[in-house]
Structure 1
């Protein structure tokens, strides 16, 4: 482009002249000339193409092209252009004037040919980066035998419980880590409707034959655990608790209620305070109590590392259920609004006492719209969320009554109303990097459209939902293997193509 062309209007005129004279070939010629002059490129960003022929000629010239089309509403474009015009010389006076240009009027034609179209009204700059870089830097997928991990990819409450409940009949061993601050709700039908698991694995009702395990890194609320054991009528030979698991004391709960509940939106169940004591009070003369010290748990105590070694030697299939979400991780979340543990797949492996080399699949669960617990009564926030919206807006988009969503979306442990936001593509990318997911489970698909509740096969999902799933697979490089469409008996669309998959149906009673 001639050096004399400065400002938007001059660039438009120069570009139109070159496009007309060369039918869009001038761009490829200019780039090829730079290659002939000895320049090398790992990545070259062209901002921006004007007509479809420019992209077509680039592809025909042998360039590996990822064509990204960014779009936004007219109001947003007007606002952005006005802000740019305030700081840039040579710009046209208004977006309306800019829109009179032929290229601007026909920009949607480029979108129809693009490899990816991104709505920047609903995606931040980080989201755009996450979606584009996925096309340029695919991630390897590593899976090893016998242990599958179920992990949350957002802020928790992704619907892991129902996924675990569905998968449970395929496994010999169900393992849970974390503490009673995370409630995993499963649909059980009948008069009860649902069951909220806080300490035991969420598949315990779906697979009565499986061995249940609470690992050494777990933090136990004794009353919560004993109540769940009683509610499920578990026999002594179906539950193993590692003697090294930490016991929560009343003083732990009281401390968190005083210092954390209002400050960061903590559920104040004592997990963090108990964990801190386990670290700080490592002296023989302290009153730290582990599971091995509790008479009520004596019948369940067993070295879980040795038990897992036995299972692996005998080719038993293990499902490790993580709690909370990756972005709540103590180390990788938005500190200080984090939980007291590492919530990634490797963190859960460490707490359970399992080795990374035995991992076969990592199923990462993500909601259509991520949520966090609501702000505290004194106005303190529970932490960062990208592009927060309202449940009324979700209701408008989905067709679900707003009062139904507001009533439903409360914390299963805290009882506080939740906050909701647009899907965070940058968060997805970071969680993929931290967890090494082999599969994604998309939950709350009915929040895209209430029509998805009627879908029992993949092709019955709405067109918008199918496009979203395709984009998730492009960004992640791994399949969306499961889709949850409702909180009901038949709410999972199972698309898994696991070579080792073999469902073993077991009693859910």
Structure 2
């Protein structure tokens, strides 16, 4: 019996929500292991739409334990609001169904404010942050001045930690000509929200060890995509955490041997939100068409996504850096009706052909895609539930993608509905 980590293989927005929900029905425990409420999953279950940012996707299914791991940065006010929203939709959220790691870092109002202040003040590189305080919270965690869930249990400790935190933040705000943070007000805010968070606080690493001993199926749910990884992505246009599958162990308190299958969610074309290099981006009516048919708008921010052709070089690289066992190919139907399709199979950089995505920021911006052209198909793939339902040219496209990225298709998603899925290889039975 395998435990599965689900990660994005591109820049996020690959359709992880549906796949995680599809897998979570058979999992016993679903774990979020990195990121914050800057990422979103849209789930469609029996016609009802759930939009989740912090809560693991398993929360909408009864009989599961949902875990927010220590690698996640938690905005307590956003968390409580999201819990209230899903409860209003009939979802049971209590201390038996939701566990939050006691050593998870908190996002405070000052983090979101600093996010916006620095982005607005920057005259050089703008990252395209969601301004939700994710980066500044991770900075405080790395600098050992963060306030964590467990700190909410001790008022005197909380006072001292706030004082230490504000020594740093108020100096920054003074330099940015922003009002200083009132420590007493922040303390009052935290003490007010504390009971609503501590209700779910738990020793998560122990709960996961108990699940392992009981041979429970655990699903590790990533946010964003591999090219937004703080080490392996398009730095500095990345998120503030590691998004590759290796973080699933670190961000939840289990050993790497607890992860048996890594499923990389992969869109049949490429999209990106925010700033940063995008070699296959399309600025013509083809790109506009992909965006319109794919309804490419961010779940959390509503921002329009940039669209382009499938980049096999990039995905092959994320297969390697993320240890991806197999992919779930999504949104194939968006390519329906196109006369021809292009796939990026290499890059040209300074007159030379390369077969990898470079780390240097200037080189990333300078690479030019080298394309192969394939025939499209006129038939619909929407809602297909077997290979026999797919046009021959669509099957050829899929097989060529597998060959180029050096990873097999384990799942094929053909609509937002969870039943419209072709299972090739069951990750849980690997």
* Alignment match of 2:241 (pick from 320, 341, 365): 341
Query: What secondary structure, in the 3-state scheme, does the structure 1 residue paired with 2:25 have?
Result: helix
Residues 209, 465 of structure 1: alpha-carbon distance in 2 compared, 3 angstrom cutoff:
same
Query: What secondary structure, in the 3-state scheme, does the structure 2 residue paired with 1:339 have?
Result: coil
TM-aligned CA deviation for residue 198 of structure 1: 0.5
Match in the other structure for 1:353: 253
Alignment of 1:383 with 2:238, yes or no, is no
Q: Separation in 1 of the partners of 2:51 and 2:109?
A: 22
Long gaps (5+) in structure 1: 1-144, 375-381, 502-509
Deviations 1:440-496 (A, max 9, x none): 100111122161104221221222321122123223443201111112353222222
Match in the other structure for 2:199: 299
TM-aligned CA deviation for residue 209 of structure 1: 0.5
TM-aligned CA deviation for residue 390 of structure 1: 4.3
Match in the other structure for 1:14: none
Deviations 1:249-269 (A, max 9, x none): 111111112223782111111
Match in the other structure for 2:342: none
* Alignment match of 1:163 (pick from 15, 19, 36): 19
Counting only pairs closer than 5 Å after superposition, residues 292-331 of structure 1 correspond to structure 2 as 294-331=194-231
* 8 A Cα contact 1:168 1:204, kept in partner: no
Q: RMSD over aligned Cα, in angstroms?
A: 2.4
Counting only pairs closer than 5 Å after superposition, residues 26-65 of structure 1 correspond to structure 2 as none
Counting only pairs closer than 5 Å after superposition, residues 190-209 of structure 1 correspond to structure 2 as 190=47, 193-205=48-60, 207-209=61-63
What TM-score do the two structures reach when normalised by structure 2?
0.74
Residues 403, 150 of structure 1: alpha-carbon distance in 2 compared, 3 angstrom cutoff:
closer
Deviations 1:215-256 (A, max 9, x none): 111111212211222223312211111111111111111111
Q: Separation in 2 of the partners of 1:367 and 1:404?
A: 13
TM-aligned CA deviation for residue 391 of structure 1: 7.4
* Alignment match of 2:73 (pick from 212, 219, 224): 219
* 8 A Cα contact 1:345 1:435, kept in partner: yes
Q: Separation in 1 of the partners of 2:287 and 2:109?
A: 39
Counting only pairs closer than 5 Å after superposition, residues 357-436 of structure 1 correspond to structure 2 as 357-374=257-274, 382-390=275-283, 392-394=285-287, 403-405=292-294, 408-436=295-323
* 8 A Cα contact 2:72 2:104, kept in partner: yes
TM-aligned CA deviation for residue 418 of structure 1: 0.9
Which is strand-richer, 1 or 2?
2
> How many residues were matched structurally?
340
- Structure 1's consecutive aligned runs of 4 or more residues displaced over 4 angstroms after TM superposition are 402-405
TM-aligned CA deviation for residue 337 of structure 1: 0.6
Deviations 1:76-110 (A, max 9, x none): xxxxxxxxxxxxxxxxxxxxxxxxxxxxxxxxxxx
Alignment of 1:253 with 2:112, yes or no, is yes
Long gaps (5+) in structure 2: 147-156, 166-186, 338-379
* 8 A Cα contact 2:22 2:418, kept in partner: no
Query: What secondary structure, in the 3-state scheme, does the structure 1 residue paired with 2:51 have?
Result: strand
- Tell me: higher relative CO, structure 1 or 2? Use CA pairs within 8 A at least 6 residues apart: 2
Match in the other structure for 1:183: 40
TM-aligned CA deviation for residue 279 of structure 1: 2.1
Larger CA Rg, structure 1 vs 2: 1
Match in the other structure for 1:473: 402
Query: What secondary structure, in the 3-state scheme, does the structure 2 residue paired with 1:227 have?
Result: helix
Deviations 1:278-310 (A, max 9, x none): 222439733269x99932222211111111111
